[in-house]
Amino acid sequence: MHLFPYRHIDKTKITKIADLTPSVDYAQVQGKLWYYETVGDRSSRRLTAFLTDETGVIELTWFKGINWIEKSLKQNQAYNVFGRINFFMGKVQIVHPEMEVVINGPTPAKSYLEPVYSTTEKLKSRGLGGRQIGKLTACLFSLLSEENLLENLPQSLISKLRLLPRYEAFKQIHFPISNQSYEQALRRLKFEEFFITQLRLAKVRFERHRKSKGVVFSKVGELFNSFYRDHLPFELTAAQKRVVKEIRTDTGSGHQMNRLLQGDVGSGKTIVAQLIMLLAVDNGYQSCLMAPTEILAQQHFHNISELLHGLPVGVHLLTGSTPVTERKFILQALAEGNLSIIIGTHALIEEVVQFKNLGLAVIDEQHRFGVAQRASLWKKAVIPPHVLVMTATPIPRTLAMTDFGDLDYSIMDELPPGRQPVITVHRYDTYRPKVMDFIRSEIDRGRQVYIIFPLIEESSKLDYENLMKGYENVKAFFPEPGYWISMVHGRQPAGQKETNMQRFINKDTHIMVSTTVIEVGVNVTNATVMVIENAEKFGLSQLHQLRGRVGRGSEKSYCILMTSTKLGSEARERIKIMTSTNNGFEIAEKDLELRGPGEIEGTKQSGALNFKLADIVKDKAILETAKKFAEVVIEEDPELESAENLQLKNYLLSLHGKTPWSKIS
C-alpha cells in the first residue's frame, strides 16, 4: 500500500498511427503486422517489423533478443503495441515495444494508468521489475475495500478540504483513472501524512500545557526591576519585549516551559535569557546558562557579570578548565543553594553538578547539544526546570513545524536599532591584494578584522595546513610590529585559544585568523570586516553565522567571500544568496530549498524526513493547512472523544509506538 509508484504508463487510449507526432511520449497502437526482417550483421544486426492500421505504418525495431522475438512474430497477426515514440528520419518508430497478440477483435484500452514502481537490479533479475510489482499490487488491491482500508480523517475535514476518501486515494495513487485523479490522491495522502504528525505534535504540546508541573515564577521582583530600570544599557526591541512577555506568561502558568527561541544572528537573545534568569532568582530559584563552547561560555560570563555589576546577585562560571578549588566551591554552593546563576559548558550536565532548586535552564545554540544531554538537565531538579533553547540561526518555518512542533516557540525577527546591514561581496582569489589593501584601510581606521579558513573536520590535516599557509600569507601582508595577529584553531590547548581570543577582544591584535571555532556567538563590536576564505566550502547557515560576527556595532561592516574562479553551480547560488540578503530567516528558507531537509545541520533524524510522499519544501501550503486543522481538532476535542473523531483516534491507536513522538521533550 505504502510502496508508491514513481510514474504511470498511460494505456488508457489507443492512438491512430497517423495521430502520432513528435510531441507524443508513450503511445499504444493497434494494427496488423505487415512484414518483418532482420537487417545488418553482427553488432549492427537488428529486427525490424512494420505494423499498419487504417491510417498509417509504424516501424518496430529490436536490437536485443532478436532470435526469440523473430520466432514469436506472425505476419498478418493483429497486435496491441506499446512503447516510447521516436521519430527517426521522419519515420515513426518504437524501439523494443511491448507486444500483445489481439485475439478476438481489438483489445480494449486499460481503464486506468498503469503504475511503475522502483525496484532493484537484483529484484528485476528475479522477475520483479517495476511493472511486475504493479501487477502484484493490483492483485493485492483487489482484496481491499472501504471496509478494511478505513477512513481516518474526520468527515467534516474531508468535505471542507475536498479531499478524496482514503480508500479512493490509495486506489487512485496506484491505479489512477487520469492524471488529475492521481494529483487528487497525492494531495489527500500528503495531507494525511502532515495532518497525523501535526496532530500528534499538537497533542504533545497540549498535554504538556495541561499536565506538566512546573515551578511558578509568580512575581516580577526587585532584581528584575532594578536591572531593567537602572542597568539595561539599551532599550529592548519590540521583539525582545514580546518574547520576554511570552516567557513570563509561560513560566507563571504552573506548567513546565519548553520553549525554543529563534532569532537571527545578533538579534539579542542573550539579554532575553539574562532577564529570565533574573526572574528565576527573584522567585527563589537557581538558573543555568549552557553554551556549546568554552569561548562562548566565557564570553557570556563576562558580559553578564558586567551587566549585573552592582546588583546583589552572584554569577559563576563552570567549564572543563575551572580550577579544582573553585570548582569545589561552586559545586558546594550550587548544592546548598548559595549560588543563583551559573554559566558553563557541558561541564554543567555532569553527574556531580547538583542544584538545590534549579528553576530554569537556558541552552544557547541548541544544534550543538544532543537530546540526551539536554534531558540530563531535567533530572537535576524534582520538578523539571523551565527550558529555554536558543537557536544559533533561524530554522526554516516548515522545518520548525515538523521538528519542533511539540515545543512552543518564540521568534525574534528584528535587529536592534542602528544596525547597518553588512555589505557582502564576492571576490576571486586573484583579487586578494586589493582585499588586503582594504583590510589595511579599515585597520588604520581603528577597526578589527576576521579572516576565516574552513575547517571541515577537526582532524583534517589538509585544512590545518591550509590555515597555516593562510596565516603566513596574512602575516606577510601585515608584518609585526605594525600589525598584530591572533590565531585560534581547534588544535590549540583551551588556554591558548582563550588567550588569543582575549587579545583580540581587548583590541591588542588587529586581525583574527581562525577556523570556524569562533562561529557561534562571539561578540567583538569593533570588528568590521569578515573575510571568508574558500567560501564555497561553507554552507549557507554557516556563512550567515560567520557574517553575523561583524556589523554588531554602529560602524559600517563588510563581509568578503573569497573563492577560486572554479565554482560549482550550487556554491555560486549560495554566494548569490549571501550577497543579496542579510535576513537569516530568508537564508534559512533558501538553504532548505537548495539542500533539502536531510542536509540541514541537526536534522539527521528529522521528523521532516519521515514523510513518504509529502515534502516540506514543495508542499508547504499543505503543511500549513494540516497544522492549522490539527490544532483546531486538538483544541476542540483533545481526547478525540467525539463520534466524528473516533476513526482518527482508532487510527492513532493502531499506530501506537510506530513513530517517534518527540525529540526534545
Q: Which residues bind Mg ion (CB under 5 A)?
A: 521
Bridge partners (DSSP) of residue 532 are 452, 561
Report the site for ligand ADP in 484-543 (rule: CB under 6 A).
521, 523, 525
416 binds, among ligand ADP, Mg ion, none (CB under 5 to 8 A by kind): ligand ADP
176 binds, among Mg ion, ligand ADP, none (CB under 5 to 8 A by kind): none
- Is there a contact between 261 and 410 (Cβ–Cβ < 8 Å)? yes
Q: Which alpha helices (H) appear in 105-154, and where do they start and end?
A: 121-125, 130-141
Cell numbers given for 186: 497525492
Q: What is the signed CA dihedral for 596, 597, 602, 604, rounded to 10 degrees?
A: -100
Options 5, 97, 154, 266; binder of ligand ADP; rule CB under 6 A: 266
Binding status of residue 265 toward ligand ADP by CB under 6 A: yes
12 binds, among ligand ADP, Mg ion, none (CB under 5 to 8 A by kind): none
d(CA 32, CA 78) in angstroms, rounded, equals 4
607 binds, among ligand ADP, Mg ion, none (CB under 5 to 8 A by kind): none
- Window of 166-174, 208-216, 264-272, 347-355 that interacts with ligand ADP by CB under 6 A: 264-272
Binding status of residue 292 toward ligand ADP by CB under 6 A: no
Residue 291 Cβ vs ligand ADP, minimum distance, rounded to whole Å: 10
- Is there a contact between 8 and 176 (Cβ–Cβ < 8 Å)? yes
Binding status of residue 340 toward ligand ADP by CB under 6 A: no
Q: By beta-carbon distance, which residue lies closest to Mg ion?
A: 521
What kind and span of H or E run contains 183? Answer: helix 179-211
Nearer to ligand ADP, 240 or 582 (CB): 240
d(CA 341, CA 70) in angstroms, rounded, equals 87
User: Is the bond preceding 481 in cis, omega lying within 30 degrees of 0?
Assistant: yes
Residue 362 Cβ vs ligand ADP, minimum distance, rounded to whole Å: 11
- Is there a contact between 631 and 620 (Cβ–Cβ < 8 Å)? no
d(CA 104, CA 102) in angstroms, rounded, equals 6
The radius of gyration of the chain's CA atoms, rounded to the nearest angstrom, is 33
Nearer to Mg ion, 31 or 521 (CB): 521
Residue 568 Cβ vs Mg ion, minimum distance, rounded to whole Å: 31
Binding status of residue 269 toward ligand ADP by CB under 6 A: yes
Residue 267 Cβ vs Mg ion, minimum distance, rounded to whole Å: 9
- Is there a contact between 587 and 581 (Cβ–Cβ < 8 Å)? yes
236 binds, among Mg ion, ligand ADP, none (CB under 5 to 8 A by kind): ligand ADP
- Window of 258-266, 462-470, 504-512, 592-600 that interacts with ligand ADP by CB under 6 A: 258-266
Residue 236 Cβ vs ligand ADP, minimum distance, rounded to whole Å: 5
Residue 296 Cβ vs ligand ADP, minimum distance, rounded to whole Å: 9
Pick from 228, 566, 560, 206: nearest CA to 406: 206
Binding status of residue 270 toward ligand ADP by CB under 6 A: yes
Nearer to ligand ADP, 250 or 519 (CB): 519
Pick from 49, 26, 48, 30: nearest CA to 39: 48
271 binds, among Mg ion, ligand ADP, none (CB under 5 to 8 A by kind): ligand ADP
What Å distances lie between residue 459 and 361, 462, 490, CA to CA? 32, 9, 9
Could you tell me if residue 119 is left (phi over 0), alpha (psi between -120 and 50 degrees) or otherwise beta? Answer: beta
d(CA 423, CA 551) in angstroms, rounded, equals 9
What kind and span of H or E run contains 450? Answer: strand 448-452
- Is there a contact between 170 and 612 (Cβ–Cβ < 8 Å)? no
- Is there a contact between 535 and 562 (Cβ–Cβ < 8 Å)? yes
Pick from 301, 312, 388, 404: nearest CA to 347: 301
Report the site for ligand ADP in 402-461 (rule: CB under 6 A).
416
Report the site for ligand ADP in 214-253 (rule: CB under 6 A).
234, 236-237, 240
Residue 525 Cβ vs ligand ADP, minimum distance, rounded to whole Å: 6
Options 134, 263, 359, 396; binder of ligand ADP; rule CB under 6 A: 263
Pick from 635, 591, 634: nearest CA to 616: 591
Q: By beta-carbon distance, which residue lies closest to ligand ADP?
A: 268
The amino acid at 657: G
Options 30, 184, 197, 267; binder of ligand ADP; rule CB under 6 A: 267
Residue 273 Cβ vs ligand ADP, minimum distance, rounded to whole Å: 8
Nearer to ligand ADP, 224 or 629 (CB): 224
Q: What is the signed CA dihedral for 126, 127, 130, 135, rounded to 10 degrees?
A: -140
Residue 125 Cβ vs ligand ADP, minimum distance, rounded to whole Å: 56
Site size with ligand ADP, rule: CB under 6 A: 17
- Window of 46-54, 57-65, 267-275, 611-619 that interacts with ligand ADP by CB under 6 A: 267-275
58 binds, among ligand ADP, Mg ion, none (CB under 5 to 8 A by kind): none
Options 134, 268, 396, 607; binder of ligand ADP; rule CB under 6 A: 268
d(CA 663, CA 387) in angstroms, rounded, equals 14
Binding status of residue 293 toward ligand ADP by CB under 6 A: no
What kind and span of H or E run contains 611? Answer: none
d(CA 253, CA 151) in angstroms, rounded, equals 38
Residue 269 Cβ vs ligand ADP, minimum distance, rounded to whole Å: 3
Binding status of residue 69 toward ligand ADP by CB under 6 A: no
- Window of 141-149, 260-268, 344-352, 610-618 that interacts with ligand ADP by CB under 6 A: 260-268
d(CA 390, CA 398) in angstroms, rounded, equals 18
Options 552, 574, 590, 627; binder of ligand ADP; rule CB under 6 A: 552
Pick from 194, 224, 221, 209: nearest CA to 254: 209
Would you tell me which residues interact with ligand ADP (CB under 6 A)?
Answer: 234, 236-237, 240, 263, 265-271, 416, 521, 523, 525, 552
